[in-house]
Amino acid sequence: MAKQEDDFKKVISHAKEYGYVFQSSEIYDGLSAVYDYGQNGAELKKNIREYWWKAMVQLNDNIVGIDAAIFMHPTTWKASGHVDAFNDPLIDNKDSKKRYRADVLVEDHVAKIENKIEKEVAKAAKRFGDAFDKEQFLATNPRVLGYQEQATGILKRLGKSLENEDLADVKKLIEELDIACPMSGSKNWTDVKQFNLMFGTKLGASAESAMDLYLRPETAQGIFVNFLNVQKTGRMKIPFGIAQTGKAFRNEIVARQFIFRMREFEQMEMQYFIKPGTQKEWYEHWKEHRMKWHLSLGMGEENYRFHDHEKLAHYADAASDIEFRFPFGFKELEGIHSRTDFDLSQHEEYSSKKLQYFDPETRENYVPYVLETSIGLDRMFLAVFSKSLQEEELENGTFRTVLKLPAVLAPTKAAVFPLVKKDGLPEIAKEIIADLKWDFNVLYDEKDAVGRRYRRQDANGTPFCITVDHQTLEDQTVTIRHRDTMEQQRVAITELRSIIHEEVDMRVWLRKIKG
Ligand code: ATP
């Protein structure tokens, strides 16, 4: 645990030191669970968003993107169920006065049991060496089976109690599991209560005429209320999808995990409108497709897993999370939800407007079913950033900190250095910058010894460093150094663009999804 916490602290301080993420309003001591993205963070975030948008909208002929407003008519949230049911179960510890999400306390307890399974696996792998068969071990080892049974039993019971709104049983479960407050160790708990997560605000100048509004807690509803507008104007035929990225707001009860759980965050969502009865196959399709998107970034298959939901949200008939191995363990990164016709039917009822699709082949009208993929941009940022941050021991026994961001997402693609600040080398370096900047984000650095400049760019996540030296004056060649291998090549200045392009071009990365 201590190592995990230590690694996570390093992620947070590196994000700050290198201009990726700052605490919001830091000069006023910050605002809890609200963060600002710095000069590098804004670029990384933009690149992740673009990577998603290209894969989702540009490469799918039947998916289009929109940009709906954050403010929506308040009846939207009545219809969607958020006013009545967008609650989290909270529990307070009477001694430490700390507030927790009751379901998260239980899930964290289960994560500890799962950790024990991982430890057993690691131990056995060491003992058996090459002969180790993980699948078989998981299926037969009595201790592991015992842990698995415990974990699923707890999650099942939690799911059932939440579904039945049996909050007294959630408290009972916490007590039975002997869960203590992580801050104080106390087991003196209050009852579990529901807490609505939406932020309210007002629209209008005078107190009498002002209208109560909510800041949207998800981007999906902006898609549902525009379903017919897009279908008609785009002449879309089912199945088709509508995608959007944008801010969402939730008054989270516990928000202690940096940008993992924020009160203002960004979502990237896609609602896929389908014929009723086909939801199972589309659910499987999108689960597989989204997993491929994640794997295309090369951050290791072992760091992802599906988690099928026991407890379904009020709108869903099937749901699964893609979980990622964050520095604090496996947690939800993306949700794939089969939302049935819940949302469109509700909006039909509350607006008294028909939200139906006319099938030109069967000549029937129906309310489509919806398959949703929903990922948090900030969570994706944390996944990429935390996995990329590495400490490496070099051959000479020294260490380097390197941010091995997938090159396609890196904020700066190349840094250009003159070896020395004289003899015309800076001028050539600046000419190279002036040329490359039409295609890539590049930067110029002439301060300190070249070795120090390399380290700075390693820590910054820059995939290439280009050095101009005296030989450049003679033959128009430079050295190009690769961040991950630290290999250096002598190449002609005229080749630089294509060398960089080959590694950072989205086309090359996204092809892996199709392939
Ligand atoms: P959690 O169980 O972690 O609260 P959720 O199941 O409520 O998440 P969804 O409503 O399915 O999340 O939202 C879709 C995605 O939006 C999540 O997978 C996550 O990546 C992101 N997300 C949700 N809440 C937050 C938040 N407070 N901060 C950052 N990202 C979030």
Q: What is the DSSP string of 357-384?
A: EEETTTTEEEPPEEEEEEEEHHHHHHHH
Count, residues in the chain: 515
Residues in contact with ligand 1 by the CB-under-6-Å rule are: 218, 250, 252, 261-262, 265, 267, 332-335, 374-376, 378-379
CA of 20 to the centre of ligand 1 (A): 21
CA of 377 to the centre of ligand 1 (A): 10
Mutate to test the pocket of ligand 1, among 332, 333, 337, 339 (most ligand atoms within 8 A of CB): 332
Measured by CA distance, the residue closest to atom 12 of ligand 1 is 335
Mutate to test the pocket of ligand 1, among 34, 379, 382, 384 (most ligand atoms within 8 A of CB): 379
Instruction: Kindly give the number of the ligand 1 atom that is closest to the alpha carbon of 334.
Output: 18
pLDDT for 253 equals 81
Measured by CA distance, the residue closest to atom 30 of ligand 1 is 376
CA of 264 to the centre of ligand 1 (A): 11
Q: How far apart are CA 83 and CA 123, in angstroms?
A: 49
63-65 and 35-37: which strand pairing? unpaired
CA of 63 to the centre of ligand 1 (A): 23
CA-CA distances (angstroms) from residue 392 to 18, 90, 326?
18, 42, 19
Mutate to test the pocket of ligand 1, among 267, 315, 380, 382 (most ligand atoms within 8 A of CB): 267
CA of 361 to the centre of ligand 1 (A): 38
CA-CA distances (angstroms) from residue 34 to 49, 103, 157, 244, 326?
19, 23, 33, 22, 19
pLDDT for 515 equals 56
What tokens were used for 143? Answer: 């201790």
Measured by CA distance, the residue closest to atom 13 of ligand 1 is 374
Which residues are paired to 372 by β-bridges?
A: 271, 337
* pLDDT-flagged residues of the chain (< 50): none
Question: Long-range CB contacts (< 8 A, 24+ apart) of 227-235?
Answer: 227/273, 227/344, 227/355, 227/368, 228/355, 230/64, 230/66, 231/273, 231/357, 234/64
pLDDT for 185 equals 94
Mutate to test the pocket of ligand 1, among 77, 261, 321, 334 (most ligand atoms within 8 A of CB): 261
CA of 395 to the centre of ligand 1 (A): 42
Q: How far apart are CA 368 and CA 364, in angstroms?
A: 12
What tokens were used for 363? Answer: 């000549």
| 0.85 surpassed by pTM | yes
Q: How far apart are CA 291 and CA 334, in angstroms?
A: 10
pLDDT for 476 equals 97
Q: Is residue 423 helix, strand or coil?
A: coil
